[in-house]
Amino acid sequence: MSVVIVGTVGIDDIATPTGQVTRVLGGSGTYAALAARLFAPTALVSVVGTDFPEAHRQLLEGRGVDLAGLDVVEGETFRWGGRYHEDLNTRDTEFVELNVVTEFTPRIPATNADFIFVGNIEPGIQLSVMEQLDPAAFVATDSMDHWIRGQSAELAEVFRRSALVVLNDQEARMFSRETRVPKAVGPILALGPQAVAVKLGEYGAVLAADDEWFFAPGYPLPEVVDPTGAGDAFAGAMLGSLAEAGAFGRGRGGDGGVDSRIRGNDGPDDPSPQPSPARGEGAGPDDPSPQPSPAGGEGAGPEDPHPNPPPARGREPDPARGRGPDNSPVYPPLDKGKGRDDLRRAIVYGSVAASFTVEAFGVERLAAVTREDVEARYAEFKRLVAF
């Protein structure tokens, strides 16, 4: 099964306590695609300007990323510059140049992609992407504090149409107006997704689905060089792993979307303990996505900057199409057999990809990682939690 990544491709300037680099390949879509390609055929949908370096294109193509959906338009590529503080959990954005991204209208290629990651872009654009998708596709989405403050109603609709929502702990708490992660995921799950993955920075990540929890630790790296894009790599690896496992994709039955291969395959209940609240910046600060409609500036929106998300809408599935009465996808409760195990495995692979990403500036380390590297570190993760 295959993956389509919708997100930004850009050129970054990055400074951390260990050094700095300029004009390196970046963008949320870039990091996610380079992680997903380790597990499944991956296509990238984005836009760049005519100034986009050929070497950057060759790097992506050389790692097997399909760039048929990468539009090249007259103008300059999205640019971002950031400087990290000593603790690497705090950064200052020094400049953002949207450039050609202001005209970004994603067009999903005519493909039978089973897994779609709609990255951190304006919620209206995310919804336009979702309208183009096959109802059998498994859709994962990401967001950020800017959209939570200014477009929470639209973002709630994005989450309602998602099978998997990926946020960091601060974003989850902000969206739900809850101070603890175990409570914050409740309003998100009530909107309709099968699961929520919450990134906890250096502490790992947690998966919430129905009344079950699963915790993946962070990898104990002695040194972190650059956290940029680690959260996006986390999400891309999750989708790639799910695509490889094939539990949720095309071929699902007409009962609302459960794959015929996992129906009736209930494994033993193995609920993981509920995590205590953690503090951090996600599986690493995500590569900043552009803000193509910053009307009124950062945080513009209703008087209450953290409005309650709208209540979940009742949706009875259309058995023939796997959609609700408003034609949006309907995802069934998470299967407690193969589907649950695949999600748990995917969140660990996400943490593995994030741990590699932070070892060098930009995409340098992630682009060099092989599947053998991934499996070796995955085995280390298993040893970390064996008792």
Number of neighbouring beta carbons within 10 Å of residue 384: 15
**Residue 236 pLDDT:** 98
Among 144-148, 245-249, 263-267, 291-295, which stretch is predicted with the lowest mean pLDDT?
Answer: 263-267
> What are phi and psi for residue 200, nearest 5 degrees?
-120, 30
Can you name the residues that pair with 47 across neighbouring β-strands?
A: 71
Residue predicted with more confidence, 186 or 321: 186
Q: What is the mean pLDDT of the chain?
A: 82
Residue 234 has pLDDT above 50, yes or no: yes
Tell me how many degrees the CA angle 176-332-125 measures, rounded to the nearest 5.
55
Residue 135 pLDDT class (50, 70, 90 cuts): confident
**Residue 179 pLDDT:** 94
How far is CA 153 from each of CA 192, 256, 315, rounded to the nearest angstrom? 15, 25, 18
Residue predicted with more confidence, 141 or 249: 141
Among 32-36, 81-85, 170-174, 305-309, which stretch is predicted with the lowest mean pLDDT?
Answer: 305-309
**Residue 322 pLDDT:** 52
**Residue 305 pLDDT:** 39
Tokens (6 digits) for 254: 């007409």
Domains of the chain, residue spans: 3-263+276-294+324-385
- Whole-prediction pTM: 0.81
**Residue 1 pLDDT:** 87
Residue 287 and residue 309: Cα distance in Å, rounded? 25
Among 53-62, 119-128, 263-272, which stretch is predicted with the lowest mean pLDDT?
Answer: 263-272
Beta strands in the chain (DSSP E): 3-6, 10-16, 19-26, 42-49, 65-73, 78-84, 91-97, 115-118, 138-142, 164-168, 195-199, 205-209, 212-216
**Residue 285 pLDDT:** 52
Average of pLDDT values for 225-250? 90
- Crossing angle, helix 230-245 and helix 28-36, to 10 degrees? 40
pLDDT tens for each residue of 76-133 = 999 999 999 999 988 999 998 989 998 889 988 876 678 999 998 889 999 999 999 9
**Residue 387 pLDDT:** 85
**Residue 113 pLDDT:** 77
Can you name the residues that pair with 212 across neighbouring β-strands?
A: 209
Strands of 3-6's sheet, edge to edge?
Answer: 65-73, 42-49, 3-6, 115-118, 138-142, 164-168, 195-199, 205-209, 212-216
Residue 339 pLDDT class (50, 70, 90 cuts): confident
**Residue 171 pLDDT:** 94
Residue predicted with more confidence, 381 or 283: 381
CB 227 within 8 A of CB 359: no
**Residue 103 pLDDT:** 84
Q: CATH says 3-263+276-294+324-385 is which class?
A: alpha beta
pLDDT tens for each residue of 169-214 = 999 999 999 999 999 999 999 999 999 999 999 899 999 997 889 9
> What are phi and psi for residue 287, nearest 5 degrees?
-65, 130
The listed range with the strongest mean pLDDT (118-122, 242-246, 294-298, 375-379) is 375-379
Label residue 247 left, alpha or beta by phi (over 0 means left) and psi (-120 to 50 means alpha). alpha
Separation of CA 77 from chain center: 22
Label residue 327 left, alpha or beta by phi (over 0 means left) and psi (-120 to 50 means alpha). left
**Residue 368 pLDDT:** 98
Residue 165 and residue 217: Cα distance in Å, rounded? 19
Residue 274 has pLDDT above 60, yes or no: no
Average of pLDDT values for 334-349? 83
Average of pLDDT values for 50-70? 97
